[in-house]
Chains A and B, each alone.
Chain A
Amino acid sequence: MRRIAIGALLLALGLSVVGPRWADAQEGKRGGTLRVATIGEPPGLDTMLPYGILAQHIGKHVFENLFTFDANWRPVPMLAESYTTSADGKVYTIRLRRGVRFHDGSAFDAADVVASLERWVQVESTAKSLLAPNLESIRAVDPQTVEVKLKAPSWVLIYMLAADAAPVYPSELVQKFGNQPIKEYVGTGPYRFVQWLPDRHIELARFDGYAARNESPSGFAGKRVAYHDTIRFVPVPDVSVRVAGVQSGQYDVALDVNPDMYQTLKDDQRVRSLLIRPFGWPFFAMNKAQGLFADVRLRRAFLAALDMDQLMAAGFGDPALYAVNGSIYPKEIADWYTTAGTEPYNQKATARAKQLLAEAGYDGKPLRIITSRQYDFLYKISLVAAQQARAAGFNVDLQVVEWATLVERRQKPDQYEIFVTFNSMSPAPPLYQLWLFEFWPGWWKNEEKDRLLARFGAATDPAIRAEIWRNIQALIWSEVPIVKVGDFFGYALASPKLEGVQETYTMPFWNTWTR
């Protein structure tokens, strides 16, 4: 008994250290306005379009998907009641929940799902790349049942349907706007869209007709309760003012707080520090199409020269805010975390890098690294990496440009060897890992990778999937299409009066209340 108790304690401690940071379900207090200070405004709230994390963060309170992620980042039903897969893994039959209504009062049914998913595979980048070529049909079997037929089995479908970019809109809106941005925000979520005053706020209000699930909350899944009457997302571009706003009680939450403020704020009684993990990871994207880094030996030399401890410390300062980790997936996503093939990560081997450069016959041509000050951590990491590469013998030309320029220039293979960027949280590969694909800047063309990805997508057995992913990761560290630097955590602040906050990526504000 005692052993079991100690084991349970250790397990609990372990989970609190490495597990996803989800709050326990509790009964809360209704009422009030939640004021969330954001870094800016999204271009729109049509989350099928690539409007960024902020659009998804706000949008997920308004729109819901067929599936969502639980506390272990596994997809579970949300608007779906249940689903079955045919024996050959090609046909998914999804039963829908009854009694769900949109904010405009109309009933949710299979026609809405079919219209939304058909639009989704046309406009959403990942669905278009991964799903559209493999899609046979989407049809309504009856008002409560949708059938998705694939050409080849693909387990990724359910993960994709759980991602923020696959919301279900009313079919009338999909018909009205087609593939153009949807500008009327009607969903089935616990909050409905009220108004958007540019540069002032986006306001949501509790949807009284919300049909909540019955299961206990787990991650984004289960019962969702809108305790606050309204939520206001207020764009506050200056981080100091976002912080001061929470300190003074004017805002309840400040998103995107600079990591270098953690040291001074972690013990501030007026605020509560929220560490959001997993969050993202910075990486060097190599231009494999043209120039110096078309030669894999030079990419390996660059990798050998890097000291990831130094780079992450430069980027994020306090070790509480990052993890030096060579697995493409962080420890918090246990299904995909693996150390397979990570030996070349964090070598700190300047001498080896020099040797590799000599073997490749490097003639001192400039190694052009494009970076930006838009994200301070990327800039600092770039500065230190440039120094480490110089020490190994690279003739580094570090080009600091504006983010918009970086995004434009990275499309041009004759203009750089490396650009510095970061990847946001992804629940499963290859979702939101665009660098894996040949169309994305950096242009990774590799037959072995294509073969592995094809097998990976079709593997129905989770154990086989995990094995193939280990092979893909090993190939990444061997071919060096990118160099992952480490995992960083998001940092946000909340009022100490706010209860039920989930310290997770795009933290939801349902099931939270103000004391």
Chain B
Amino acid sequence: MSRYVLRRLLSAVPVVVLVAVIVFVAVQLAPGDPVLVMLGSDARPEVIESMRRDLGLDRPIHVQFLAWVGRALTGDLGRSLFLDRPVTTAIAERLEPTVLLTFGAVAVAIAIGVPAGILSAVRKGGLVDQAFMLLALSGVSVPEFWLALNLVVVFGVDLRWFPVAGYVPIAEGGLLAALRCLVMPAFAVGFVQSALIARMTRGAMIEVLSQDYVRTARAKGVSAFGVVAKHAFRNVLVSVVTVVGLVFALALGGAIVVETVFNIPGIGRLLVESVLRRDYTLIQGVVLYIAVAYVLFNLLVDVLYVYIDPRVRYG
């Protein structure tokens, strides 16, 4: 098992390197100049040149890239041009809300998607099935920002249950205050992703429910709930975990949009702001971080298979 994990980690290295190269080239090719963004469009040319020199942006691209790679190998992702602090520090400062939001969104997606999928499968073709699948269709069709803004209007402005925007770190207001800020954002991301889980769960459950051992269980007099919960669901779990892994990645993407709408100072917001500011080192650092997180989570999902399905063995 540990050899498998090690092999998977090593095989992730080329992926991460490729991501780094693509991001570096894409960022450099994009029009726009971080110095102009920082100094404003009316800055004098000599001031612009001086700052460009100070930041090392006057060097050829390949020199900048090699210098960045050299530093990255030692764990130093450089300094943010705009925030004037190490990229790793900037990322570390934003981790808390993004981690909570991502896991919260995945929890919401599972809490809605799995029961909806199971109920739809059990009541296949019925009213419940059609209602849930309509909901799932609307889930995949609704953009996260639209849902987010509607949640703000209803639960933030009209009912005033949750703050319309912002985030209170755990260290300042405790876990409950932090979670209260994240309820609407997590729902906005989670609801959209729950549609995917619901459809996958439904499909897998319908297949399992037609298996002989389910029929045998029913024939033995096991209750309908017992059949689904004890016999069928265990076999559906592999498919659910696979799709949850995918949902995790999508939730990270959703966080980028939703953190901006809800004004949450997380990794997604950091990425958006760094792109708008053309903060090259920060963009590279954040994308690299997201790529690594994605690879690690996929690995975690693969490892989980072993515990869920006894048939899976990694040599």
Chain A interfacial positions (CB closer than 8 Å to B): 40, 43, 49-52, 123, 125, 128, 183, 197-200, 234-238, 240-241, 244-245, 247-250, 401-402, 404-405, 407-410, 434, 439-440
B40 touches A51 (CB 8 A): yes
Cross-interface CB contact of B31 among A50, A51, A401, cutoff 8 Å? A401
B164 touches A404 (CB 8 A): no
Interface hit among B61-69, B152-160, B203-211, B304-312? B152-160
Chain B window 251-274, contacts with chain A (Cβ cutoff 8 Å), 1 for yes, 0 for no: 000000000111101000110110
Q: A128-B44, A408-B36 are in contact. List 8 more A-B contacts (CB 8 A).
A: A50-B39, A50-B40, A200-B265, A238-B165, A402-B32, A408-B33, A439-B44, A440-B42
Query: Within B237-288, which residues are at the interface with A (CB < 8 Å)?
Result: 260-263, 265, 269-270, 272-273, 277-278
A42–B277 Cα gap in the complex (Å)? Answer: 11
A404 touches B157 (CB 8 A): no
Cross-interface CB contact of B263 among A198, A241, A401, cutoff 8 Å? A241
Complex contacts, B153 vs chain A, CB 8 Å: 244
A32–B235 Cα gap in the complex (Å)? Answer: 58
A194–B82 Cα gap in the complex (Å)? Answer: 20
A125–B41 Cα gap in the complex (Å)? Answer: 11
Query: Within B11-70, which residues are at the interface with A (CB < 8 Å)?
Result: 31-33, 36-44, 47
Cross-interface CB contact of A241 among B44, B152, B265, B272, cutoff 8 Å? B152
Provided the pairs A237-B263, A238-B260, A240-B149 are in contact, do residues A404 and B36 lie with their beta carbons within 8 angstroms?
Answer: yes
A14–B107 Cα gap in the complex (Å)? Answer: 60
B166 touches A234 (CB 8 A): yes
A241–B164 Cα gap in the complex (Å)? Answer: 7
Complex contacts, B31 vs chain A, CB 8 Å: 401-402, 404-405, 408-409
User: Could you jot down 25 A-B contacts, CB within 8 Å?
Assistant: A40-B273, A43-B277, A49-B39, A51-B40, A125-B42, A199-B270, A200-B167, A237-B260, A238-B261, A240-B149, A240-B261, A241-B149, A244-B152, A245-B164, A247-B157, A248-B157, A249-B160, A250-B165, A250-B166, A402-B32, A404-B36, A405-B31, A407-B33, A407-B41, A434-B42
B33 touches A404 (CB 8 A): yes
A51–B40 Cα gap in the complex (Å)? Answer: 6
B263 touches A235 (CB 8 A): yes
- The reply on B163 being an interface residue by CB < 8 A is yes
A249–B163 Cα gap in the complex (Å)? Answer: 9
Interface size class of B (residues with CB under 8 A): 35 or more
Provided the pairs A51-B40, A250-B163, A250-B164 are in contact, do residues A241 and B261 lie with their beta carbons within 8 angstroms?
Answer: yes
- The reply on B5 being an interface residue by CB < 8 A is no
B163 touches A199 (CB 8 A): no
- The reply on B83 being an interface residue by CB < 8 A is yes
Query: Within B157-200, which residues are at the interface with A (CB < 8 Å)?
Result: 157, 160, 163-167
Cross-interface CB contact of A197 among B149, B262, B265, B270, cutoff 8 Å? B265
A186–B37 Cα gap in the complex (Å)? Answer: 25
A100–B93 Cα gap in the complex (Å)? Answer: 38
Complex contacts, A440 vs chain B, CB 8 Å: 42
A439–B33 Cα gap in the complex (Å)? Answer: 19
Complex contacts, A125 vs chain B, CB 8 Å: 42-44, 47
B269 touches A199 (CB 8 A): yes
In the complex, residue of chain A having the shortest beta-carbon distance to the beta carbon of B84 = A183
B273 touches A199 (CB 8 A): yes
Complex contacts, A51 vs chain B, CB 8 Å: 38-40
A49–B239 Cα gap in the complex (Å)? Answer: 57
A244 touches B157 (CB 8 A): yes
Nearest CB of chain B from residue A411's CB, rounded to whole Å: 9
Chain B interfacial positions (CB closer than 8 Å to A): 31-33, 36-44, 47, 82-84, 90, 93-94, 149, 152-153, 156-157, 160, 163-167, 260-263, 265, 269-270, 272-273, 277-278
Provided the pairs A50-B39, A247-B157, A248-B164 are in contact, do residues A405 and B265 lie with their beta carbons within 8 angstroms?
Answer: no
A9–B94 Cα gap in the complex (Å)? Answer: 57
Nearest CB of chain B from residue A275's CB, rounded to whole Å: 23
In the complex, residue of chain B having the shortest beta-carbon distance to the beta carbon of A405 = B31
Cross-interface CB contact of B83 among A128, A198, A401, cutoff 8 Å? A198
A241 touches B39 (CB 8 A): no
A245–B261 Cα gap in the complex (Å)? Answer: 12
A123–B153 Cα gap in the complex (Å)? Answer: 45
Complex contacts, B273 vs chain A, CB 8 Å: 40, 199
Complex contacts, A236 vs chain B, CB 8 Å: 165, 263
Complex contacts, B42 vs chain A, CB 8 Å: 50, 125, 434, 440
Complex contacts, B166 vs chain A, CB 8 Å: 200, 234, 250
A222–B197 Cα gap in the complex (Å)? Answer: 63
B263 touches A238 (CB 8 A): yes
A52 touches B160 (CB 8 A): no
Nearest CB of chain A from residue B157's CB, rounded to whole Å: 5
In the complex, residue of chain A having the shortest beta-carbon distance to the beta carbon of B162 = A248
A233–B114 Cα gap in the complex (Å)? Answer: 42
A125–B40 Cα gap in the complex (Å)? Answer: 11
Complex contacts, B39 vs chain A, CB 8 Å: 43, 49-51
A401–B164 Cα gap in the complex (Å)? Answer: 32
A51–B165 Cα gap in the complex (Å)? Answer: 26
A249–B165 Cα gap in the complex (Å)? Answer: 11
A125–B156 Cα gap in the complex (Å)? Answer: 44
Nearest CB of chain A from residue B87's CB, rounded to whole Å: 13
Complex contacts, B163 vs chain A, CB 8 Å: 248, 250
Provided the pairs A240-B149, A244-B152 are in contact, do residues A404 and B37 lie with their beta carbons within 8 angstroms?
Answer: yes
In the complex, residue of chain A having the shortest beta-carbon distance to the beta carbon of B152 = A244
A219–B167 Cα gap in the complex (Å)? Answer: 35
In the complex, residue of chain B having the shortest beta-carbon distance to the beta carbon of A409 = B31
B38 touches A43 (CB 8 A): yes
A440–B94 Cα gap in the complex (Å)? Answer: 39
Please give me the 6 A-B residue pairs with the lowest Cβ-Cβ distance, nearest first: A404-B32, A50-B40, A199-B265, A405-B31, A407-B41, A43-B38
Complex contacts, A250 vs chain B, CB 8 Å: 156, 163-166
In the complex, residue of chain B having the shortest beta-carbon distance to the beta carbon of A196 = B83
A461–B262 Cα gap in the complex (Å)? Answer: 54
Complex contacts, A200 vs chain B, CB 8 Å: 166-167, 265
